[in-house]
Structures are given as C-alpha cells and as structure tokens.
Amino acid sequence: MLRALSGLALCAVLSTASLAQTADAHPAFEAADVHISPARKFPFKDGGTLHGDRYIVHQATMLDLISAAYGLDNENVQGGPSWLEQDRYDVIAKASATTSKDNLKLMLQALLAERFNLVVHTGSKPMPAYALIVAKDKPKMTESDGTATADCQYQPPPPNQPSGTISLIVFSCHNTTMETFAEDLHNWAGGYLSNPVFDATGLKGSWDFDIKWTNKGQLQRAGADGISIFDAVEKELGLKLDLKTAPRPVLIVDSVNEKPTANAAGLEKILPPAPPAVFDVATIKPAQPDARMSGNINGGQVNVQGFSLKLLISYAWDLNPNDNDSLVAPKWLDTDRFDILAKVSGDTLGANTQHAPQIDQEDLRQMLRALLIERFQIKSHIEDRPLTAYTLVAVNPTLKKADPLSRTRCTEGPGPDGKDPRIANPQLNRLLTCQNMTMAQIGDELQRVAAGYIYDPVLDGTGIKGSWDFTLSFSSADKMQAATAAPPADGASDPSGAVSVFDAVNKQLGLKLEKVKRPEPVVVIDHMEETPTDN
C-alpha cells in the first residue's frame, strides 16, 4: 500500500546518500518475470501483494513500482523521465511465503535496480498535504482495549435498496492507530483527497470507530442527505483535515531504463505459469426485479447483485460497457439480471491466514469469464467489423507547448492556475489537466476518460508534432444524456450548461474529433443459454 510518510519515517527507510541500489544490498526475489503489461481498456495498478510464494502486480507504472518499493505516496516520488507515469508493467516474482512486507519492499527495490537500472536519491520539496488533527475538544472515538484484530472493514450497503438510492461509503475500524487511519483515508477517499494525509493528531494508542460519507461523484445529487469526507471526519470523529504546504522529504529519480532486461533463461522451470484461476464455489441466481446493482470483493469472496449479463460479460472480456456495438449478443443480455456469490479458498490465494489477500482484478476477470462460459454454455469468437470511431484532426490548435522534461500525465482537477469551472457550472463535472502529451497520447487518453462517448481508439490525424499541455472541461456522457434527453452526440453544448467532449475538444483545444468508420474487434456470442446450469 502506498504511504505518505513523515520526514522521520522516510529517513528511516532511505539513507541520505545516493541510492544506486544493487541486488547485493538487499534480499532479492528468487526469480522474476518482468514484462510490458497487455493493453487494457481502463488500465490501473492491481495487486502488489504476496500470494503464497508469488509476488504479483499488474498494470503498474514505473511510478507505481517505485512508490511501492519505498513505501511512498506517488506524489513523494519526483523527477524521472517523461514516461514514468505512462508505461505499464507486470511483475510476477518468487519469494518465500513467509516474507515480511518490509522485505518485499527491499526485494522490489533490488529488482528495479537490477532489471531497470533504477538510481534514486533523497531530497526535499514544498508540497501540499492534509494534516489529520483533533478538531476542538477531544475525539469522538472510543479508545481500543487492544483485543480486537487491527483493521478497517468496508461495510456494503443493505441489499435490495430502491433504484436510485445513494448509499454512504461506510468503514468500521477496530484497534486502529491514527497513523494507519490517515494512510487508509487517503486511499479510501481519493475523489476528495488528491493530496496525501498524515497524522498530526498527537493521539497515541489505537481506537474503535465507524465513519461514513457520500461518494464525491454523488454528493451534489444527495443534497442535504449527503456528507463530504471533510464533514464526516469532523462531525463523526471529532477530527479535522487541514490542508497545509510545507517542505516534505521526497525520493528523486536520477535515472531508470524504460525497457527491462530480459527474463533469465529457464525461468519457466523456477517460476512455472500458475494454473488458471477458478472459483472454488459459485452460486448464480436471478436478481429480484427491484434489486439495486451493487458489488464488492472481500478477500476471496465476490458478491455481485443485480448485474445484467451484458455488464458481466463486458467486464470479463474487457469491453467498454457503454459500447453497444462491441458485443454482438442476444437482446436479453441487457435485461436479464443476476446475483453472483463466488469464493476462492485461502489456499488458492496463497494464504493460510484469516486475512487472505484480495483477489487480483486480472484473476477476477479470468475467473468470471470461465464461470459465465461454463454456467451459460457460452460459445463466442472475435472478429473485425466496421464501427463508429474517431480521428483527431487540427482546426485551430490552442494548446501550450510542453516542457519536454516534465512527466507525461493526466489528472482529474485544476491545472497550475487553480481555476475550476466545475464550481460555477456543476454540469461540467469532468476537468482534465494534462501535460507533455503527444497528439497520439491525447487520443488514447480521450478514449479512457470519455468512455461514455468514445469506444474505440482515437487515431491522430492532426499532423502536429511535439508534446503539449492543456486542460479540458466537459460533462460526462450521463450528464449530457440527462440534459438533452438523448444519447450523447457530436453537436454543440446544451442550454443547461452541459458540454459534450466533442464540443469541448473543438472549442477549448482547437481540435476536432472527426467521426469515421473503421474495422474494430468485436465479441460475437454464437451460442448462450438464457438460464444458467444448476448451482
């Protein structure tokens, strides 16, 4: 788990000397398979835990790997080449099943030094962070007696809630230190907390408490019933999140190779491919007609309620669920909804303890696909068909020339000027700030961030060279559809204040998303039973 460490903690992890690590300085993995990650519609880092004798991480950027290796928040890693947040890697490495978390970090440090020639050193930089402090008198939490297991558990919403219900995010914590809570809070409430959180409460020992808040994306719709993470921390716990800027220790990347060295010869003998992941037991049953769609993963258990078969297949086959053309299948896939409760054993996850590691998303995708194929007797194939796609062309470009030494990245939120059009116009609920991106990279990013509008790769037809900085403010496809009472179109803005991504790209960037027909791969369901086989 990524951490925003205090200066003392960071200094304990890193020496002040240059850290040109060598494998001899640290414990090392017995063997490691390192390779470029396969392409995904919506890539994100997954894994980073020990499953039995295997350390597995998927779709990790080099920034993710460095942060994990040194136990840091991403913002505490500075410098490095432009691709540090773009290229993605899979790492599957062998270690003793009893390896501690601290030693796993050291092993990952050694792997990055050996396979990518990573060289880093420590420094200091003024950076914003949220200080977790006591709000007024004393905290509204109960001091723990230390007997309960130290953890915070997500509490899923009640089943069969009416459609449209906005559920609160709820965590129940026991025997939890404030340092751990600050770290967890940053991971739980990323929509609110773009900066790290550190413990400045001065509270010692451990505590029992519950905390609940409204997802940021639903806060406006919740109205008076909603509660932000800031209000929840203060009203429910008697604490406060105070944004500060101060010098913080950082890890500076001096150099790193983009391409890893080749895997060792004979690797498959030391690290043979794992058998296909499958559920040990699974029940599938039709959902109640008024069931609210929900789902959660708790260790080795997956609980899905009210999902249509189309959504389940879209996830399992890595499709964009908004794209009706990427899946050729019976119409009833949109309407037939099911509940799935499935489990894998601790042994399957490589854990013999009560707290098994979470199922990796890559494994979950594979397991769900196998389950659906078996229980619904699916037979399918992939073929190219002409689909609606887009080419990015230049009209009157207004982008800013990028610093070629800056990292290629896109973040959700205001740029350096701090301007946020979402405040004046809530219909503009998407604000993308990007730097050092080529036109081809802008097209790739648009497919990911505007997935309700754009379903297939955007090709670069601008003829513009170099890299660019820009901000882009637009309305998500669901807001645009609600405003126009029609599917998102390539046309102009709506009187409600909603702005389509097509109009935003044209007016704000001086570019145009030109609609074309191109052959793209689609999944064709040749046969599928409407009723699953018996549990």
**Crossing angle (nearest 10°) for helices 101-116 and 62-70:** 140
Specify the range with the lowest mean pLDDT, choosing from 39-48, 183-192, 351-360, 399-408: 351-360
pLDDT of residue 75: 86
Helices (H), 126-242: 178-188, 216-222, 229-237
Assess whether 82 and 152 both reside in one domain: no
Q: Hey, what amino acid is at 533?
A: T
Show which of 325, 357, 376 is a domain's final residue: 376
Q: What is the dihedral of CA 20, 410, 194, 126, to 10 degrees?
A: 50
- List pLDDT tens digits, range 516-527: 999 999 999 999
pLDDT of residue 22: 39
Assess whether 174 and 312 both reside in one domain: no
446: in domain: yes
Assess whether 68 and 92 both reside in one domain: yes
d(CA 422, CA 415): 13
Residue 299 gets which letter from DSSP?
Answer: T
pLDDT of residue 500: 95
Mean pLDDT across 114-136: 93
Q: What is the dihedral of CA 472, 477, 480, 484, to 10 degrees?
A: 150
Assess whether 413 and 512 both reside in one domain: yes
- Nearest CA among 477, 444, 516 for reference residue 322: 477
401: in domain: yes
260: in domain: yes
pLDDT of residue 349: 64
pLDDT of residue 91: 97
Mean pLDDT across 419-441: 91
pLDDT of residue 488: 55
- List pLDDT tens digits, range 380-398: 999 999 999 999 999 999 9
d(CA 366, CA 58): 14
Mean pLDDT across 270-288: 90
243: in domain: no
132: in domain: no
d(CA 259, CA 261): 7
Mean pLDDT across 240-258: 91
Residue 451 gets which letter from DSSP?
Answer: T
Mean pLDDT across 214-238: 90
Helices (H), 450-532: 477-484, 501-509
Take residue 533 and report the two structure tokens written for it: 């086989």
85: in domain: yes
Assess whether 446 and 339 both reside in one domain: no
The pTM (predicted TM-score) of the whole model is 0.79
Assess whether 490 and 398 both reside in one domain: yes
Q: Which domain holds residue 116?
A: 7-125+249-266
Query: Which pLDDT band, with edges at 50, 70 and 90, does 353 fall under?
Result: very low
Show which of 217, 237, 257 is a domain's final residue: 237
d(CA 210, CA 153): 10
Specify the range with the lowest mean pLDDT, choosing from 3-7, 51-55, 232-236, 283-287: 3-7
Query: Which pLDDT band, with edges at 50, 70 and 90, does 7 fall under?
Result: very low
- List pLDDT tens digits, range 250-265: 999 999 999 999 999 9
pLDDT of residue 413: 84
pLDDT of residue 261: 97
Specify the range with the lowest mean pLDDT, choosing from 63-67, 128-132, 320-324, 422-426: 422-426
pLDDT of 128 over the 80 cut: yes
CA-to-CA separations, 489 to 353, 449, 486, 492, in angstroms, rounded: 52, 16, 8, 8
pLDDT of 20 over the 90 cut: no
pLDDT of residue 375: 96
d(CA 428, CA 199): 34
pLDDT of residue 217: 78
Mean pLDDT across 200-226: 91
The upper half-sphere exposure of residue 397, i.e. CA atoms within 13 Å in the direction of its Cβ, equals 17
- Nearest CA among 313, 319, 363, 321 for reference residue 340: 313
Assess whether 167 and 203 both reside in one domain: yes
115: in domain: yes
527: in domain: no
Assess whether 23 and 104 both reside in one domain: yes
d(CA 48, CA 104): 10
pLDDT of 486 over the 70 cut: no
d(CA 39, CA 61): 13
Cβ 14 vs Cβ 122: under 8 Å: yes
pLDDT of residue 136: 83
In the chain, pLDDT over 70 holds for what percent of residues?
Answer: 90
Show which of 376, 398, 423 is a domain's final residue: 376
pLDDT of 16 over the 50 cut: no
In the chain, pLDDT over 90 holds for what percent of residues?
Answer: 67
Task: Name residue 305's beta-bridge partners.
Answer: 294
The label of the residue with tokens 């003793």 reads 96
Assess whether 483 and 445 both reside in one domain: yes
Mean pLDDT across 316-338: 94
Specify the range with the lowest mean pLDDT, choosing from 9-23, 166-180, 320-334: 9-23
- Three-state DSSP at 459 gives strand
Count of domains observed in the chain: 4
Higher-confidence residue of 417 and 146: namely: 146
- Three-state DSSP at 213 gives strand
Mean pLDDT across 171-196: 90
Assess whether 407 and 491 both reside in one domain: yes
Query: Which pLDDT band, with edges at 50, 70 and 90, does 303 fall under?
Result: very high
Assess whether 372 and 447 both reside in one domain: no
Q: Is the C-alpha dihedral spanning 204, 210, 216, 222 positive or negative? A: negative
> Cβ atoms within 10 A of the Cβ of 313, count?
25
Cβ 119 vs Cβ 18: under 8 Å: yes
Assess whether 152 and 298 both reside in one domain: no
Q: E strands, 188-231, where? A: 197-199, 207-214
d(CA 492, CA 501): 10
Q: What is the mean pLDDT of the chain?
A: 88
